[in-house]
């Protein structure tokens, strides 16, 4: 059973998770973080950045969950760019130690296996930050994803493309494919920290935490993990 922490604001949630990360890095300076994109984890990164002055983050390693396929890495909305902007630069991480799946179409056939090998070579992820999509996806594991899945190419659902259109000029500019850590990959992380804020996430969160284990709700895979912390606001928790 996951531990569920309900806090009044995103900022309080960000502080709580940042505290856990500070404790991890203090005891393990080369800890491996699993970082997520989307708006949900931003309060965590901001809270961490605010205390990074007194903290040595130079040896921290990180793996992102996912990437669009076919966007140049330097595109401002590629997840490589987003992670650089929101995580690497504000926290002062060593960019060489921060990995994102390679969404370059030319090498996509072995990009999944390469990423799995890199995570394994790092000794696995210590703490994985997760958001949840309104359709219950984690990473970019859309409904129908196997609980055993590893890093691979997926097709984005229309709902996810519409949800993410706000980052692009129009929905037509949102890529149709992505490369994402699988649910099986995510479940190997030693500690999962799932964040959700706002009423729009309430249904997906309740289905993930309290509904049946089902590939229709990829987030329900977290029920299979022995160490899950869920940090949410009251609106996201309203259907629990």
Residue 175 and residue 168: Cα distance in Å, rounded? 10
Q: Which two tokens stand for residue 230?
A: 């869920």
Which is nearer to ligand GLP, 30 or 129 (by Cβ)?
129
**Sheet of 152-155: strands edge to edge?**
66-68, 177-180, 152-155
DSSP per-residue string spanning 24-60: HHHH-TT-EEEE--SSTTHHHHHHHHHTGGGS--TT-
Residue 109 and residue 104: Cα distance in Å, rounded? 10
| Annotated catalytic residue within 15, 116, 126, 137 | 137
Which is nearer to ligand GLP, 39 or 58 (by Cβ)?
39
The answer to whether 36 contacts ligand GLP (rule: CB under 6 A) is: yes
Residue 6 and residue 230: Cα distance in Å, rounded? 8
Q: How far is the CB of 53 from ligand GLP (least distance, A)?
A: 27
Which is nearer to ligand GLP, 112 or 139 (by Cβ)?
139
135 in catalytic set: yes
Where b means 16+ CB within 10 Å and e means fewer, 41-79 reads bbbbbbbbbeebeebebeebbbbbbbbbbebeeebeebb
Q: Which two tokens stand for residue 37?
A: 């994109």
Residue 126 and residue 19: Cα distance in Å, rounded? 15
Instruction: Please identify, among the stretches 12-20, 82-90, 129-137, 145-153, the one whose residues bind ligand GLP according to the rule CB under 6 A.
Output: 129-137
The answer to whether 40 contacts ligand GLP (rule: CB under 6 A) is: yes
The answer to whether 39 contacts ligand GLP (rule: CB under 6 A) is: yes
99 in catalytic set: no
The answer to whether 139 contacts ligand GLP (rule: CB under 6 A) is: yes
Q: How far is the CB of 131 from ligand GLP (least distance, A)?
A: 3
The answer to whether 37 contacts ligand GLP (rule: CB under 6 A) is: yes
Which is nearer to ligand GLP, 38 or 182 (by Cβ)?
38
137 in catalytic set: yes
Q: How far is the CB of 216 from ligand GLP (least distance, A)?
A: 17
The answer to whether 52 contacts ligand GLP (rule: CB under 6 A) is: no
Answer whether 228's CB lies under 8 Å from 190's CB: no
Where does this chain bind ligand GLP (CB under 6 A)? 36-40, 65-66, 131-133, 139-140, 160, 164
Write out the catalytic residue numbers. 66, 135, 137, 142
């Amino acid at each position: 059973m996951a531990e569920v922490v309900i806090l009044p604001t995103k900022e309080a949630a960000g502080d709580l998770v940042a505290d856990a990360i500070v404790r991890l890095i203090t005891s393990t300076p080369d800890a491996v973080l699993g970082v997520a994109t989307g708006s949900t984890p931003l309060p965590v990164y901001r809270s961490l950045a605010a205390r990074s002055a007194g903290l040595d983050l130079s040896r921290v390693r990180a793996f992102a969950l996912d990437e669009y396929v076919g966007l140049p890495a330097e595109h401002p909305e590629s997840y490589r760019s987003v992670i650089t902007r929101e995580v690497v630069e504000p926290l002062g991480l060593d960019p060489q130690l921060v990995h994102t799946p390679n969404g370059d179409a030319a090498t996509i056939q072995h990009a999944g296996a390469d990423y799995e090998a890199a995570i394994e070579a790092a000794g696995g992820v210590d703490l994985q930050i997760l958001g949840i999509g309104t359709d219950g996806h984690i990473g970019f594991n859309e409904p129908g994803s196997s609980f055993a899945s590893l890093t691979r190419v997926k097709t984005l659902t229309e709902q996810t493309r519409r949800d993410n259109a706000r980052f692009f000029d129009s929905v037509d500019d949102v890529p149709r494919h992505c490369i994402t850590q699988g649910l099986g990959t995510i479940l190997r992380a030693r500690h999962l920290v799932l964040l959700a804020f706002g009423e729009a996430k309430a249904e997906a969160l309740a289905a993930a935490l309290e509904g049946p284990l089902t590939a229709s709700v990829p987030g329900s895979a977290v029920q299979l993990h022995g160490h899950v912390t869920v940090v949410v606001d009251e609106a996201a928790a309203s259907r629990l």
